[in-house]
Amino acid sequence: MSVGLVVVSHSAKIAEGIVELAGQMAPGVRIRAAGGTDDGGLGTSFDLVMSAVVDADDGDGVVVMCDLGSAILTAETALDFLDDELRARVRIADAPIVEGAVAAAVAAEVGGALAEVVDAAEASAAASAMTSDQNSPEEAVESTSSDRRGSDLSSTTLPPSSERPEEPIGANATLINPSGLHARPAAEFVRLASTFDARITVNGVDAKSLLRIMGMGLGIGSSVRVEATGTQAQEAVDALTTLLASGFGE
């Protein structure tokens, strides 16, 4: 079982498209669309939302994603009419509908509990903003400051070796699959990374964040540096570089 997802949109086509996209990332998760009105027009439907939530529930709860304010109102009304047991395990996430649905789907796919799936959805907005700001002037200033601090290390007393940060284990790989680290391959990579007790990065980006991985835009031929620290660092690096070298079966 896993947490289910419901996508509520004023457009049936938008809801269905998001479900299709998120479903590619998380084929084992129940993701249901509740888009448009009962007659297929633009708007939202109390009955469609109710039906989608009941169908998405697999016993572990349901996270609902909404596009506009009135969709949230419809979802909240529908939840009021659920039986107490089901209503207790349904949450409406405050997140962008596309990014949130994708992030939530991956979190549910790797076995995240209801609260963790909600957190993944709601963190997607911040992750998306961080990705878009990677080359911002502010970051450039911070990078320059970091370089300056680094140049002053020779005059700084370093802490004892026992107190220094753990040295990461790392390995390089080259993407050989046509789609690189996008869509399904990115989700497969994140799912695998999430199984290890380790802090893992890909070219300096959190390997367990789907949006950060996809935001790098790494395509075929791109060089990838996988680094990890923690209990399962070596296992993580070995498994992830093997997956990259496999081409994801493409």
- Which strand (E) or helix (H) includes residue 65? strand 62-66
- β-pairing, 4-9 vs 31-35, is parallel
pLDDT exceeds cutoff 90 at 50: yes
Residues 74, 80, 82: CA angle, nearest 5 degrees: 110
Catalytic residues: 10
How many whole angstroms separate alpha carbon 80 and alpha carbon 87?
Answer: 7
pLDDT, one tens digit per residue, over 63-112 is: 999 998 899 999 999 999 999 999 999 999 999 999 999 989 988 987 88
The CATH homologous superfamily for domain 4-130 is Phosphotransferase system, mannose-type IIA component (3.40.50.510)
Q: Tell me the residue type at 30.
A: R
The domain ranges of the chain are 4-130, 168-249
Distances (CA, A) of 104 to 4, 82, 96, 169, 222: 9, 22, 11, 29, 27
How confident is the model at residue 128, as a pLDDT? Answer: 55
- Decide: helix, strand or coil at residue 88: coil
How many whole angstroms separate alpha carbon 67 and alpha carbon 23?
Answer: 18
- CATH class held by domain 168-249: alpha beta
pLDDT, one tens digit per residue, over 128-153 is: 555 445 444 444 334 334 443 443 43
Asked if 68 and 10 count as a contact pair (C-beta separation under 8 A), the reply is: yes
3-state secondary structure 145-212: HHHHHHHCHHHCCCCCHHHCCCCCEEEEEECCCCCCCCHHHHHHHHHHHCCCCCEEEECCEECCCHHH
- β-pairing, 62-66 vs 90-92, is parallel
Q: Where residue 159 falls among pLDDT bands split at 50, 70, 90? A: low
